[in-house]
Structure formats: structure tokens, C-alpha cells
Amino acid sequence: VLQKWVNREISNFDYLIQLNTMAGRTYNDLAQYPVFPWILQDYTSEELDLNNPAVFRDLSKPIGVVNEKNAKAVKEKYNFEDPLGIVDKFHYGTHYSNAAGVMHYLIRVEPFTTLHIQLQSGRFDCADRQFHSIPATWQALMDNPNDVKELIPEFFYFPEFLENQNGFNLGQLQISKEVVNDVVLPKWAHSPEDFIYKHRKALESEYVSAHLHEWIDLIFGYKQRGPAAVEALNVFY
């Protein structure tokens, strides 16, 4: 599979799906769901220019420190010594892929809606915590070193998860009073289908093809643990 990918006989998307499968990740287990990277950092421009390297996220860094400002807080957390010596050192107390995160993204489609409601003791979580906007989700990641969710494969092929086709009442945001309905898209996307098309195009772009291995090192490779993980600020609880 690696050789096929290097020879460009399979797409970046297919390579990531194969890696996830070999790593034991599967759509049948929300706790081991396939994980995909955030690949863009421009969710505000009117047009998306895939020839401009500045629109892409730095794939060599864990999502928690893509924003340099967060690196200090993350290092401080790692340097905290557990007085009882029970807890191993870590940079992040949460994980880039977990069941709640999958339900968070897929809340508008079944069976994930029902699973989310079960998780929240029989009702929807408060609106401000729902997945309601792609630009806002990215901004939250940049502002908060504790939010380290990567993406799921659906962001590259499944426009329906961005629409509230079932008409669920997801509440309204506290400050703006905006009703949470379809997911708010970046300005450069004119519809859920357009978002998926451009996002997939970005995944297969020259820039991502040249840098994807750096992210793979963090998630599936030698920077998962040990000294390389510490150096890369990539140690999870």
C-alpha cells in the first residue's frame, strides 16, 4: 500500500483509509473510529486557493499546537509532576479521536443522533456545545489547547452530515440567539456538496501529498510515543 501511494497509484484518501484499517480502526467501533487530519486553516476567505501553501494546516504538528500560542500551556502540562507518581506525563488529557467526538460531528444523522441523546441522559447537549459551524470549530481549536479533535472521513465524502435533514431541534446559541440547524460552512463553500468537493480536492492537493507523511508519523508512526512523541508535543494521557 505504501509503495502504491508513493507511486500515486492510490489517492491520499484511500491511503488514509487503508492505514486506519491496518491500525485496527473501524466504522463499527466509535471508540476506534477512522481518524483523518484537519488539512486546511483557511475557513474565512471568499475563495479557496489550493496553490497557496498558507491555506493549509501545518501537518507536522499535533492539532493542539498548530497555533504556536498553545505550545507553552501544553509544555507546562507535561512538566507537571504527579505527587503520587501514578499518572504518567502527558501533553493532552483528551484524545484526537473518541466516541463523543464522532457523535459530535455526526449528530444530525442517525444512528448518531440517538447515541448522542443517550450519552446526554436523554436529551440534546446545550446548543453552544453542538457542532454548528466549521469556521467556529476551527477557531475553537486554535484558541483552546485542550480541544484536540481531528476529523473523521465523512468530511471528505458525505455532505448529508452537514445538513439537518431530519429537522432536529438542536437549540439556539446563548449569545447570538442563532438557531442551530445546518452546519455553517466556510465562505468559500456554497453548499455542503461544494464543501465536500473542495475539501476532498484539498486533501488530494500537491501540498498535502507532500506533507501527509508528517501527520501519519504523529498518529500511526514513530512519533506516537517515546522521546520522539515528547519532542513533537504529542503525548496523550
Phi-psi region of 177 (alpha: psi -120 to 50; beta: other; left: phi over 0): left
Per-residue pLDDT reduced to its tens digit, 129-168: 999 999 999 999 999 888 899 999 999 999 999 999 999 9
**In the prediction, which pLDDT does 131 show?**
95
pLDDT at 81 over 80: no
Looking at residues 86-98, what average pLDDT do you find?
91
**In the prediction, which pLDDT does 38 show?**
98
Per-residue pLDDT reduced to its tens digit, 185-207: 999 999 999 999 999 999 999 99
pLDDT band at 85 (very low <50, low <70, confident <90, very high): confident
The set of residues, in sequence order, having a beta carbon less than 8 Å from that of 78 and lying 6+ positions away, is 89, 90, 91, 230, 233, 235
**In the prediction, which pLDDT does 86 show?**
83
**In the prediction, which pLDDT does 217 show?**
97
Classify residue 236 as exposed, middle or buried by CB count within 10 Å of its CB (0-12, 13-18, 19+).
middle
* Nearest-angstrom CA–CA distance, 137 and 28: 25
C-beta separation of 25 from 98 below 8 A? no
pLDDT band at 24 (very low <50, low <70, confident <90, very high): very high
The residue to which cell 501533553 is assigned = 91
pTM over 0.85: yes
* Nearest-angstrom CA–CA distance, 195 and 213: 24
Domain boundaries, the chain: 1-39+52-232
Per-residue pLDDT reduced to its tens digit, 57-73: 999 999 999 999 999 99
User: Which CATH code is given to the segment(s) 1-39+52-232?
Assistant: 1.10.1540.10
**In the prediction, which pLDDT does 164 show?**
97
The residue to which cell 443522533 is assigned = 113
pLDDT at 21 over 80: yes
* Nearest-angstrom CA–CA distance, 159 and 39: 17
**In the prediction, which pLDDT does 122 show?**
92
